[in-house]
Chain A
Amino acid sequence: MIRSAEALQTLSSGWFLEHAWLIPIVPAIGFFIIILFGKKLPMKGSEIGLLSMLSSLVLAGGTAMQWIDRVNSGAEAQFIAPVVRTWNWWQIGGMKFTIGQSIDGLAVIVLVVVAFISTLVQLYSTEYLKGDRRYTHFFAALTLFSAGMLAMVVAEDTILFLLGWEIMGLCSFMLIGHWWEDGANSRAALKAFFTVRTGDMGLLVGVAVLYFASNEWTTEHLGVSGFSIRGISAWALSGEPNSTVILVASVALFIAAIGKSGQFPLHTWLPDAMAGPTPVSSLLHSSTMVVAGVFLVSRLYPVFFTGFDILGSGGNFITIIGGITIVIAAALAFVQNDIKKVLAYSTVSQLGYMMLGLGAGAWLPAVFHIFTHAFFKACLFLGAGSISHSASHHSFDMKKDMGGLRKVMPITFTTWVISTLALCGVFPFSGFFSKDEIIDNVGHNGYQLFMIIGLIGAFMTAAYMTRATYLTFFGEARGASAGEHHDEHHDAHAPAHDGHDSQDAHDAHATDHADHGPHESGWRITLPLVLLAVLALSSGLLNATPFGEKWERIKTWVEPRAEVVMETAPGGPGHSNVLSIPAAAEEGHHDSPCGSETPEEGVCYAPQLQHAPFKWSKAMLSLGIVFLGIALSWLFSTLLYTRKDKRLVGLTERNGVLRAGYNLLINKYYLDALYENVIVKAIAGPIAAAAYWFNQNVLDGILHAVARFSRVFSGWVYRNIDQRVVDGTVNNSGKATKGAGGVLAPVQSGKVSQYGALLFSAAAVAALVLVIINS
């Protein structure tokens, strides 16, 4: 049945959508301005950073609103085409590299998140890093990071995506090692960089494999190269790709996601990355950069969908990794004393949830979880920073320097609690609407085992967050929170305060603290906290599945519609590519063939996914688990930490099994030992020595042999050719000239008769010649 033409609309566009490529450009320009002029500016470059991020936020907001209009302007089952603009970058041989933007719902939601949190973190950093010795460079790196991530998000092609990805890696390195004078910080930065780099090889391999596999099909059907993301998506769903090739590409790309998003087994860098300043941890390592791996999987979802056969199997690579990550990270969070490390492991665990969701076909809940997680996790990190800045004297140790802070830091406490409840997934906070949807859909799509793992993870999340909350805000004040100054704090003190003269300001600061003790932070810290907490509370309502389909706005706006699209009109450089009217389909609720079978004509850009219908009974189960977790943890914490119950204190030392378990957790499953001592040392030791031997003896041996031969040869050349031939020629030419001169000299003998003879002879000969010629 042909759908009537009027049901298919032309989609609206707008200035923001067409110019969304400006969103990464503005912070990039800001970066250059800060680097070149930052130190001379009144606020040392932070004003440029803030301004550029605010502009990006405004642009992103405009883009979002125009995208919503665009979605609303389309018909009910119409594929909302992304707004694409491409420019020819470089052409070599038959390969054409284009660069451009592709704005669809996923890009919009992540753009808004990144721009918003970047702005808040920039504001926060102006207070947190006041007086820091490398204040300007910090803001430059922060702005560059935002530029890189935004570039990655808007990218229309895998090349620009890769570029943004790498810029983020670089900025992560720079920012983690911001106080590199301390060896531990630079080691952590290197560890982060190298671990992620190991995963990045997968990205390169994946991009290359996808290019070579899909280029022919995409050029023929869609007129774009094999670097184009939508080209690759359509190709993946076309039934055309060889299953081994696309499996290899999916695995390679997912390895990159493992590295970047801190999944098992490449998660070891994330907790160490907490050595960076807290704003860095909250921006990069909780809400934005680590989400890049999840974004990669969501963006190129058709590749993974086909490669891992997501709706067809009961378990695949992604879900296994995600599931493992959830549990091991949550377990590790129990034994941490550093509050940032607790949050870091929590981030790893939540990323595991997102991966699990994507791997099980719950695309929208996973993407929605990116959205909500960004807000409450950033809030938690900024809260930890607030505590360290104003209460615990730059210490993050919960057991030593925190406790009972709820009375002196009410704002921080309230926002922390709201974010914790959101993280645990308590109704009506945002985490409930996202995390529980993941668990629900995972179970619905046939991944029952992983649903159970998700529920266990939820229990553990609630438990360790309660422990952390208890240690920080409840109980007795300890250490710095009690107003004591430990000497060791001066080490953490010194890097952050090198801007002042050491001694005087030190004393001033000391007296300052001594007067105030732990106190609430300034508005520049608490304002972002409050904003984020509000969002942690309310953002869930943007996709409140329990309340009915009308409340599922994010789903409407963001989820790509799995419709068959008939033709594409490839736009020229700089023109929007508005895909034309999609193919006919049946009326009413239909199942599109995308993802399950090859469409006969036209292309699919997204696979048809299923959504679990919401049941309050299922929700009650997960809520119950969460509350159980909170309650048990509360009980435990009170018994262990406050009342120091004799049965519990020192339990892990007395009991062998528990001690073994505790040691396993403390040593992070000995993974770090494996990586550093076994793998790295193997490479640094024997392999390096072998390479050195090869270099010295084989390569250099060849060089030396060549040199010796050249010397011998050149000696031979010198003796024979230079001395004999060349010099011989020169000498003999001289001799010949001398000989000729000698022969000719007698002509000038000075004898008159000879002259006469010559003269007359010449005359005779001339006469003879003349006569002969003329006769």
Chain B
Amino acid sequence: MVAQNIGFAIIAIIMVIGAVRVVTTSNVVHAALWLVVVLAGAAAQYILLAAEFVAVTQVLVYIGAVMVLFLFGTMLTRSRIGRDSGLNNSYAKLGIPVAVVLFATMALALSESFGTEKMPTDGSLVTTQQISDQVFGPYLLPFWALSFVLLAAVIGAIVLARKD
């Protein structure tokens, strides 16, 4: 399956570069756009992982709605930001070692646990039906909770954002 690996590699590199640009660029809009890149890359990975439904949902919801929200938010709060030190605060220097340590830890753990385990090659496609069986089956309660959360979020957002 070399093609998948190459595909994965290219997409992964793009994603990582995009993520790094998200956290390092000094332009908020640029950061949002790079986030789109990352999200798209994620969707591509999902396809590779035979998760088509999730990939499409990702594109629709994340890129389509969440990023729009972000851009709206950026627009509405645009003011003089990042004057001298860009968009990084004083803790930036601390963040690097934390991230590194965390990555190292996780890498260590992962390599020890999974080693060179391969993905199953008979990878059957997960159908929408299966997903809906899961949602309305074992994971019904979280589904209802989720609906309440969404309701609360909608109402909360309206309450927060209205002018009074």
Contacts and interface: CB of A to CB of B under 8 A. Distances in A.
A and B: interacting chains: yes
A767 B105 CA distance: 7
B91 interface: yes
Contact of A761 (B89, B98, B108): B98
A589 B34 CA distance: 150
Contacts of B98: 757, 760-761, 764
A771 interface: yes
A387 to B, nearest CB: 126
Contacts of B95: 757
A771 B91 contact: no
Contacts of B91: 753-754, 757
Contacts of B108: 771, 775
A565 to B, nearest CB: 108
B102 A763 contact: yes
A122 B91 CA distance: 114
B112 A767 contact: no
B114 to A, nearest CB: 14
Interface residues of B, number: 12
Interface string B87-121: 00101001100100110011011001000000000
Interface residues of A, number: 13
Interface string A756-775: 01001101110110010001
A753 B105 CA distance: 22
A474 B104 CA distance: 144
A765 B102 CA distance: 8
Interface string A476-513: 00000000000000000000000000000000000000
B101 A775 contact: no
A771 B89 contact: no
Nearest to B109: A771
Contacts of A765: 101
B94 A764 contact: no
Contacts of A754: 91
B89 A764 contact: no
A775 B112 contact: yes
B94 A761 contact: yes
B107 to A, nearest CB: 10
Given A757-B94, A761-B94, A767 B102 contact: yes
Given A757-B94, A761-B94, A775-B112, A768 B89 contact: no
B89 A767 contact: no
A763 B95 CA distance: 13
Which of B89, B105, B109 has the most C-beta atoms of chain A within 10 angstroms of its own C-beta? B105
21 contacts: A751-B89, A753-B89, A753-B91, A754-B91, A757-B95, A757-B98, A760-B98, A760-B102, A761-B94, A763-B102, A764-B98, A764-B101, A764-B102, A765-B101, A767-B105, A767-B106, A767-B109, A768-B105, A771-B105, A771-B109, A775-B112
Interface of B: 89, 91, 94-95, 98, 101-102, 105-106, 108-109, 112
Given A757-B91, A767-B106, 18 more contacts: A751-B89, A753-B89, A754-B91, A757-B94, A757-B95, A760-B98, A760-B102, A761-B98, A763-B102, A764-B98, A764-B101, A764-B102, A765-B101, A767-B105, A767-B109, A771-B105, A771-B108, A771-B109
